[in-house]
Structure 1
């Protein structure tokens, strides 16, 4: 049986410890900031983006790896006779999956998966794939089973301030001003059939109170939780707020692991600081 390599777009937002634990390779998306281009997670951080916005009032644009970049990325493994499973940022958000599919057709032995998700919503599926690789499962079967798991991923985030969404052209000036003046913090939910983001519940009040209510709403509403793991993923937020969410999770359910990760540049540049989400699966 051929060796199976596990790969994902950098938007899976797994930290270095988890990448090492699950032997995950990451293909970086492009971050275009001003007249310079960077690689997500390689030579730019979310704090660089926040600092640039504060000083110059500009936000980056993001773009997917192109066909040639994906081919060069995969070729080092396919040339050695390996098979590659690659999970892409949801096709509703990016051309990553489409570009990956073309590269896969050119090279062979590459199995692209449209995660229909973002951030550690992708990461949850990456870990599912890693566990199947560890069991010696064939790449084609892993690809089939992971695709069947996509509807079971629950990904959402609470956004503290709509300034970045407005500046990025994703909400109107009136909506951003009204939300910020009234201290409204919307929940953005991922449609796990496409990866597109939809507006969920609108919370009002100070951030700690909102985060507690959001966490309770999401977990109390689920009757069939997969309790292996849950992610707390944030774009840069205080340890106190992370601990509050962790404690709320522990009060509601007994997950084997509560994993805390920081979102990369692609996610952070759209949502801004103090964004936090919980991401988990159902059975």
Structure 2
């Protein structure tokens, strides 16, 4: 049997993980003086409630080697193989910790660097679930397939505010002030495992159009998992975007899910963002 272990940077919470038949290992988040297990005792909505209310940015801790070792030991106890999909190695030391822990299990545990986060990592996990359930491939073959397919993932997002990038020290106060004054809406992408600015527009309408242009440029493979996402306490911006950009979806899929971004990316982009993760054609 092959078991799948996923970290909560994928924005898959404990309830969804159980429904999918996968194992979740949560990131730990400190907000103020209290520590939470992401997606376990702190939902994504509760996270944004606390983020908006707090003057300090939450702190996310990487998953250490000891915690991985405990989970790997339990999951391989019956001789099962384990595939672990984790947050990009360029965003966290979690991957290195997972690899060190996996070395103790004589090839029974394989670790995949998603080179992504949030919805980008989510859709790689969804593809892994499909491959495992089909039962055609060995664990090694599934890992090979995931390492090929992850290079086809694009995760693009339109930010609603620059405030949280400023708080995290990723842009200066001057840049943030100018951006808010002129209603600059940046489009960011997870590229080669890192979050990068790929474009910016003045105003929400032009920002949405720019996001659509990027999505159309790459082309969505609707035969693979895809994930429209939003951040904050309401999905109204994503709902409007889906309606306004219907030419991207109509006639190509009968179902458009909506997922709430979690803490790993949400801490830095804040509420009001929308995005899409997909495999290219």
TM (norm. structure 2) is 0.90
Counterpart selection for 1:92 from 90, 93, 101: 90
Contact 1:49 1:60 in 2 (8 A): no
Once residues 84 and 40 of structure 1 are traced to their aligned partners in structure 2, the CA distance between those partners, rounded to angstroms, is: 22
Contact 2:51 2:267 in 1 (8 A): no
Once residues 232 and 217 of structure 2 are traced to their aligned partners in structure 1, the CA distance between those partners, rounded to angstroms, is: 27
Contact 2:87 2:95 in 1 (8 A): yes
Deviates further, 161-170 or 226-235? 226-235
Deviates further, 16-25 or 138-147? 16-25
Aligned runs of 1:87-126 on 2, under 5 Å?
87-108=85-106, 109-126=108-125
Q: How far did residue 55 of structure 1 move? A: 4.5
**Structure 1 runs, 4 residues or longer, greater than 6 Å off:** none
Cα deviation code 1:189-214 (max 9, x no counterpart)? 111x3x11111110211x3x245313
Across the two proteins, how many residue pairs are aligned to each other?
Answer: 276
Structure 1 unaligned segments of length 5 or more: list them: none
The residue number in structure 1 matching 2:126 is 127
The residue number in structure 2 matching 1:250 is 246
Counterpart selection for 2:222 from 227, 245, 252: 227
Q: How far did residue 98 of structure 1 move? A: 0.5
Contact 2:14 2:24 in 1 (8 A): no
Q: CA RMSD in A?
A: 2.0
Cα deviation code 1:229-280 (max 9, x no counterpart)? 4211111254432222222453223135422110112221111111111111
Give SS of 2:257's match. strand
Once residues 222 and 245 of structure 2 are traced to their aligned partners in structure 1, the CA distance between those partners, rounded to angstroms, is: 11
Aligned runs of 1:1-283 on 2, under 5 Å?
3-14=1-12, 19-20=17-18, 22-108=20-106, 109-136=108-135, 137-191=137-191, 193=192, 195-205=193-203, 207=204, 209-210=205-206, 212-223=208-219, 225-228=220-223, 229-236=225-232, 238-253=234-249, 254-283=252-281
